[in-house]
Amino acid sequence: MTITKNTPIVIALLGIFIAFSSLGNEAFAQQQGRRHQGPPPEAYTACEGKSEGDTAEFESPHGDTVTGTCEMEGDRLVLRPDNPPGGRGGDDNN
């Protein structure tokens, strides 16, 4: 490898490029992770004052009405949607 007077500049630019690339990938990974981190806070709020097995509903951030059944998750009730995102409903027609 031949070292020229421009080599330190090229190495510095490469380092900056790598740093910005990893920051962009980290932000993208965090954004994707938020989408799949479990029930939204509204799913817990919808079941406040209810019992396990009760039906409840809430309005999603997208403006859709989400209906479902309150179920225990750990020590808290959470609404399990009748038609969860991704098509994993409780109705199996196999």
pLDDT, one tens digit per residue, over 18-72 is 766 666 555 555 555 555 578 899 999 999 999 999 999 999 888 989 999 999 9
Per-residue confidence at 84, pLDDT binned at 50, 70, 90?
confident
CA gap 70, 19 in Å, rounded: 45
- Sketch the domain layout of the chain as residue ranges: 7-37, 41-81
Q: H helices of the chain, where?
A: 7-34, 41-45
Per-residue confidence at 91, pLDDT binned at 50, 70, 90?
very low
The residue whose two tokens read 């020229």 is 4
**58, two tokens:** 């809430």
**What residues does 80 pair with on adjacent strands?**
69
pLDDT at 83: 87
- Within 8 A by CB and 6+ apart from 73, the residues are 39
> What is the distance, to the nearest Å, from the Cα of residue 19 to the centroid of all Cα atoms in its chain?
25
Global confidence as pTM: 0.54
